[in-house]
Amino acid sequence: MKVLITGGAGFIGSNLCARLLEEGHTIFCADNLITGSKLNIQAFIDNPRFTFLEQDVTQPFECEADAIFHLASPASPVGYLEHPLETILVNSTGTHRMLELARKNNASFLISSTSEIYGDPLVHPQREDYWGNVNPIGPRACYDESKRLGETLVMEYYRQYQANVRIVRIFNTYGPNSAIEDGRMIPNFITQAIKNEPITIYGDGNKTRSITYVSDLVDGLIRAMFTPNTAGEVFNLGSSEEHTVLEYAQMIVKLCNSSSEIRFETSRVDDPERRRANTTKALQMLGWQRKVNMEDGLRQTIEWFSKRVTRYSTVS
């Protein structure tokens, strides 16, 4: 099968490329490298079934594909706060272009949305039918609101054209190919712990998160795309295991055998108090659930970061 992955040089996209190549698919990886990296795809850049397209998906381009995974977008606070307009455009204009490309090719389509569309939720854990508690004009709105608009576009293509589309809302994900200076909780904590630098927590550490290892997330994306009778559906993909931010910091310091102290700073604007996915629908319709134990996943991630952080520090 010919598969187009937008944002394919990013964290999740590159892991998805690797998995689909292993399964024998032909991959077209489109990325403008604003937040993605060629380092993430160097392992298969010479694979004859892999083609890299340095492409801004807000601009027209042609690609013959049987399935389109639309993952392109800055996704970390560092990325979308540095590129707010680009974030809005890729999730609106870019999504529209990819939906049109899917319609032209009669291709299956999946958009990677986000748990951020729930804002600072008043319902816990969050189900797919929860509409959210959001700030549409805050500094994070460039990401949250453009993802909500992207979801609206997808559903209109389903209603008007009976397009074979689905939405996946991704909760906190961690693992290899995360950017070193990602700005998100797990990459930040691991990088700081490896360097024995103070672990920075924004707020008092009592906010909660649930984290999913990237191989589990990729498995969920593939199941959502290729499971029959999923057109027009929305799926949460995340872990049901919830911990405080402080607990994550303490776990990582211990696993890294680090001398890092924990430092508390002012909470970020609109940072949600609690975040955990209700994944009952994904289990029932896709047969999906988390497989990788959190401690095992963190150990694998720390091992990967240890090699990368050392190299990054030397180059810097």
Query: What residue ranges define each of the domains in the chain, with the CATH number in brackets?
Result: 2-173+212-237 (3.40.50.720), 178-209+242-275+292-314 (3.90.25.10)
Q: What is the DSSP letter of 199?
A: E
Whether 202 is a known active-site residue: answer no
Q: Which residues contact 176 (CB under 8 A, 6 or more apart)?
A: 15, 214, 300, 301, 304
* Bridge partners of residue 4, in order along the sequence: 28, 68
pLDDT of residue 311: 52
pTM of the model as a whole: 0.95
Which residue stretches of the chain have pLDDT < 50? 313-316
Please, what sign has the CA dihedral across residues 188, 304, 220, 280? Answer: negative
Query: Residue 172 burial (CB < 10 Å; 0-12/13-18/19+)?
Result: buried
Given 118, 143, 157, 213, which residue is catalytic?
143
Distance between the two ends of the chain, CA-based, in angstroms?
A: 41
pLDDT of residue 104: 98
Predicted confidence (pLDDT) per residue in 251-307, tens digit: 999 999 999 999 999 988 888 899 999 999 999 999 999 999 999 999 999 999 999
CA 116 – CA 17 distance, rounded (Å): 24
pLDDT of residue 308: 85
Please, what sign has the CA dihedral across residues 223, 225, 226, 231? Answer: positive
pLDDT of residue 316: 43
- Give the closest residue to 94 by CA, choosing from 279, 183, 83, 164: 83
- Give the closest residue to 279 by CA, choosing from 178, 207, 210: 210
